[in-house]
Amino acid sequence: MTSTTTVAPPGLRLGWIGLGSMGSAMAKNIHRYLSSQGREPLRFFNRTASRGDTLAALGGIRRQDVVQVASESDVIFISASDDKAVESIIAQILDSGDVTDKIVVDTTTIHPDTTKALAAKLKDRGAEFVAAPVFGATPVAEAGQLLVAFGGSNAAYEKVGPFLKGVIAREVLLVGEEPEKATLLKTTGNFLMAGLMELIAEAHVFAEKTGLGSAALERLLELNFGTVAHSDSVRMTTGVYAPGKDQAPWSDLELALKDVGHGVDCAARAGVRLEVANTALEHLRRAKGYSERNGGRRLDSSSLYGVVREDAGLDFRTEFIRKRDGEE
């Protein structure tokens, strides 16, 4: 089921916690929307204060900690790195005082079991936990074109929905009132994405080894397999999978390891073995090994391409990357 248009109640105060590359992009889009509607500015906190400088320059209200954001907000968005980070933030929100009727919207990809446990903790205190994990890399977040999976009550959606579709997202998938269903859908999407990346990586290596070349394959992916497949291909052919020193991954390798791992774990508990996802996960783990052997070099989630290349007797880095980094 997809979303319908809603109008947020007037006077609703919004807060944002977590300004990584994805969080920063989403927070800026929400703040701009608030400004365009004459609403109160977005309150925000990030552990590394400098990450909030751009948002502050736009008029966002910087707060000193999670507790201050929570105490001054009716709806609190979270964009964190992993389960432990979200658990810590929720604990601080609960320590902020009376949280009755507050809505906590978590955009992080965490384990469905973690989602369920956190929802119960907030419910016990009269608040609601909404799981709203997002599909898309940083450039998509910056463009406000993410896809959001929404798990929460209809009443919560009436309040939160106006800040999702048309603001940070192109569409919202309503998956029911159980928040963990949204994170389960996200983990399912993650292993689909990892499997697609694995397939495209293998196709590119096959094209290179046979002399077909990447250009024709990439054009085929663009014309016949859609935007997502073409985007994954571009991440490989333009060196995003192993960014340069002054470049950031579109989607960090560490996050991919967490996300695909959650999917594999959920499947195992259900008695299902995800063969393609397991292959992709092993290649992601080996990509992390490459990173560690190279001074902790940051890699993108598409870096499994480098591992597939190595298995075919090629360098982890394409000629494009070696030239870009001044190594040829």
Cite the residue boundaries of each domain of the chain with CATH code 3.40.50.720: 14-177
pTM over 0.85: yes
Q: What is the DSSP letter of 17?
A: E
CB 103 within 8 A of CB 127: yes
pLDDT at position 327: 78
CB 96 within 8 A of CB 74: no
pLDDT at position 84: 97
pLDDT at position 189: 93
pLDDT at position 321: 96
Distance, CA of 108 to CA of 254 (rounded, Å): 14
Cite the residue boundaries of each domain of the chain with CATH code 1.10.1040.10: 185-324
Which of 22, 27, 54, 13 is closest to 135 using CA atoms? 22
pLDDT at position 4: 60
Amino acid identity, position 199: L
Per-residue pLDDT of the chain (328 residues), as tens digits, is 566 656 777 789 999 999 999 999 999 999 999 999 999 999 999 999 999 999 999 999 999 999 999 999 999 999 999 999 999 999 999 999 999 999 999 999 999 999 999 999 999 999 999 999 999 989 999 999 999 999 999 999 999 999 999 999 999 999 999 999 999 999 999 989 999 999 999 999 999 999 999 999 999 999 999 999 999 999 999 999 999 988 989 999 999 999 999 999 999 999 999 999 999 999 999 999 999 999 999 999 999 999 999 999 999 999 999 999 987 6
CATH 3.40.50.300 fits domain 185-324: no
Distance, CA of 226 to CA of 246 (rounded, Å): 30
CB 183 within 8 A of CB 135: no
Phi, psi of 72 (to 5 degrees): -105, 10
What fold characterizes domain 14-177? Rossmann fold (3.40.50)
Q: Exposed, middle or buried: residue 93 (CB in 10 Å: 0-12, 13-18, 19+)?
A: buried
